Amino acid sequence: MLMTLTLSAALVLTGTPAQATKSVSFRGFTLQIPVSWKVKKDPIGGLDVITGACSKRATECPGFSLGGPRAIAYASEGGPYRAGQPYHPGSGVMECVPDRRYLEGVPPVRPSRAATVQVGAGHPARFTEWSLTCQTKTSKPAAVSYTQRVWYLRKEKVLVVDQWKTPGLGDILAKAVWR
């Protein structure tokens, strides 16, 4: 009944139906995500949010991850996350996210975008966006690239990593509700 009222009100006010959402809570904040997205716990205490169909070629399913202190502690070559560098938890060369036939290439020196953004009211995050290219096993450039976006909330000890440029994620994070 409540869902029907919400959808009806959205249709009357905007002329388009609202997307049904569900709540996901992590380390003191709650996000409203589409009901079609799946949430699962990761092995180090974070959450993986899967937003679409998984490909056998990709190293992970489309979506993003919410990580806490352990994810931050091992986010850069097996060491702690460093603002101003891409998320790269493994030491050495890693597989290319959208196509495991390739390897992750050398990251650029600077992010393509960097800013301070809000993840909910009063919770600033360091946002960086990286354009990452992939390479063959013989270090030749591959025609595959992807965008990695990272929101780092230092004080709250939260790291959000999106390797799929998830549509609407920035707005979802901006509307986070903290308790």
The 10s digit of each residue's pLDDT in 127-173 is: 999 999 999 999 999 999 999 999 999 999 999 999 999 999 999 99
Return the number of other C-beta atoms located less than 10 Å from residue 149's C-beta: 22
12 in a domain, yes or no?
Answer: no
11 located within any domain = no
What mean pLDDT, rounded, does the chain reach? 90
Question: Do 26 and 158 meet the contact criterion of CB atoms below 8 Å apart?
Answer: yes
pLDDT tens digit sequence for 4-57: 334 434 434 444 457 899 999 999 999 999 999 999 999 999 999 999 999 999
Residue that the structure tokens 């997205």 belong to: 37
Q: How many domains does the chain have?
A: 1
Domain hosting 67: range is 20-178
pLDDT of residue 5: 38
- Looking at residue 15, its pLDDT comes to 45
Instruction: Calculate mean pLDDT across residues 74-91.
Output: 90
Residue 92 forms part of a structural domain: yes
83 pLDDT exceeds 90?
no
Structure tokens at 4: 């029907």
Residue 17 confidence (pLDDT): 59
Q: Which of 120, 27, 132 is closest to 71 using CA atoms?
A: 27
More confident residue, 13 or 116: 116
Domain annotation covers residue 43: yes
Question: pLDDT grade, residue 91 (50/70/90)?
Answer: confident
Residue 102 lies in a domain: yes
- Whether 13 is in a domain gets the answer no
Alpha carbon 177 to its chain centroid, in Å, reads 18
Q: Looking at the predicted structure, is the pLDDT value of residue 78 above 90?
A: no
Residue 3 included in any domain: no
Q: Does residue 101 lie in a domain region?
A: yes
- Which one-letter amino acid corresponds to residue 139? S
Mean pLDDT of 95-122: 95
